[in-house]
Structure 1
Amino acid sequence: MKLNDCTAVVTGASSGIGLELTRRLLEGGATVYGLSRRKPAGIESPSFTFLEVDLTHREELDRVFDTVLDREETVDLLVNNAGAGLFGPVEEIVPEEWEQLIALNLTAPFLCTRRVVPGMQAARRGTIVNISSIAGLRGFKNGSAYCASKFGLDGFSEAIKEELRESGIRVMTVNPGSTDTAFFRNANLEPRKLMDTGALVGIIIDMITLPDDILPDRFVARPL
């Protein structure tokens, strides 16, 4: 995929991986729609459109995708990056907080994906990147809610990868370990070693910009 011929939607574009990825896509010449609750700081580009949305509210999510698809013939790249954490002993997790976490980390990627797939299928091309976590591959103490959401996202990615590749659509899953973002700095998780966000995003960009007939279906990285 060539970024200078790409229309992209990035969720969670206001911070961390999503913000850095938005910057890199714009630098490469892409048209980017950033979806988040807060406007990203420091991004001033005629190729960038911020759409305020709470992705846990389906009616808001559908409204912003209606806006994107009214303006664009198709979305070439969807990055499901938005996510949150919920940690603690299972008996102390409040059911409403569990439901909110699942809504953002798992249901929102499903809802976003179903809105862009018809256009990608018609074009016989497109890329979907799901930002998961090491927590989608292994469980850890006090991580039942977060791990459940990320294991679910990994399973969703694996299934649609096989479903959509017949239509020329690539589905990639990224499973990063602790990264130097506000999310990890505030999570009070061990170990405290953090990967550089820019380096991680550089690899994601390399994956996206591979030729359309190459599918890098999973990338796993963690601090050394």
Structure 2
Amino acid sequence: MPTAVVTGANSGIGHELAKVLIDAGYKVHAVDVNEGEKLKSLDCETSHLDVTSQHSIDRFKERYGDGPLDLLLNVAGIFDPDHDSLDTLNKDALTNTFSVNAFGPLLLTQALLPNILRSSQPRLGYVSSRVGSIADNSSGGRS
């Protein structure tokens, strides 16, 4: 049975991807910073994971163990509409956004790399939105 870790699985795309993988026969570890009812409703292993916290990442890695990881889907992400323009952006909002959307996936991938390399067919997935696109920035800013 292939294994998968899905971040951001308490809502939205992460939750739906976890359901698809469960239905496809994966042993899914669904994780999120918020352990809400949607996360707990999934028919799989669920746990708290704050991708902005190295301690939280280390604790998850310890719970996951040494087994192979076939698929890591980094879906967790944030967008702060109150701080989305040059005149409202501040350092705290920017730091938090980068911590969740960029540094977190990198650090989680780094922590789970030994597991990923134990898989015979490892896959990594990083989900973003058009808001994060450099090539298509039509959804942000002023015209």
Q: Same fold (TM over 0.5)?
A: yes
Identify the match of residue 27 of structure 1 among 23, 39, 42: 23
Deviation at 1:65, TM superposition (A): 1.8
2:67 counterpart of 1:73: yes
Equivalences for residues 95-174 of structure 1 within 5 A: 95-135=91-131, 136=133, 137-140=135-138, 141-142=140-141
Partner of 2:10: 14
Identify the match of residue 36 of structure 2 among 29, 36, 39: 39
Percent identity between the two aligned chains: 24
Any conservation in 2 of the 1:10–1:32 contact (CA below 8 Å)? Answer: yes
Q: Can you give the 5+ residue segments of structure 2 that lack an aligned partner in the other structure?
A: none
Q: Can you give the 5+ residue segments of structure 1 that lack an aligned partner in the other structure?
A: 144-224
2:110 counterpart of 1:92: no
Any conservation in 1 of the 2:6–2:73 contact (CA below 8 Å)? Answer: yes
Deviation at 1:124, TM superposition (A): 4.6
Whose relative contact order is higher, 1 or 2, with alpha carbons under 8 Å and at least 6 apart? 2
Deviation at 1:23, TM superposition (A): 0.7
Stretch deviating more after TM superposition (116-125 or 54-63): 116-125
| CA distance in structure 2 between the aligned counterparts of 1:126 and 1:64, rounded to whole angstroms | 19
1:138 corresponds to which letter in structure 2?
Answer: D
Deviations 1:141-200 (A, max 9, x none): 439xxxxxxxxxxxxxxxxxxxxxxxxxxxxxxxxxxxxxxxxxxxxxxxxxxxxxxxxx
* TM-score, normalised via structure 2 length: 0.84
* TM-score, normalised via structure 1 length: 0.55
| CA distance in structure 2 between the aligned counterparts of 1:91 and 1:126, rounded to whole angstroms | 43
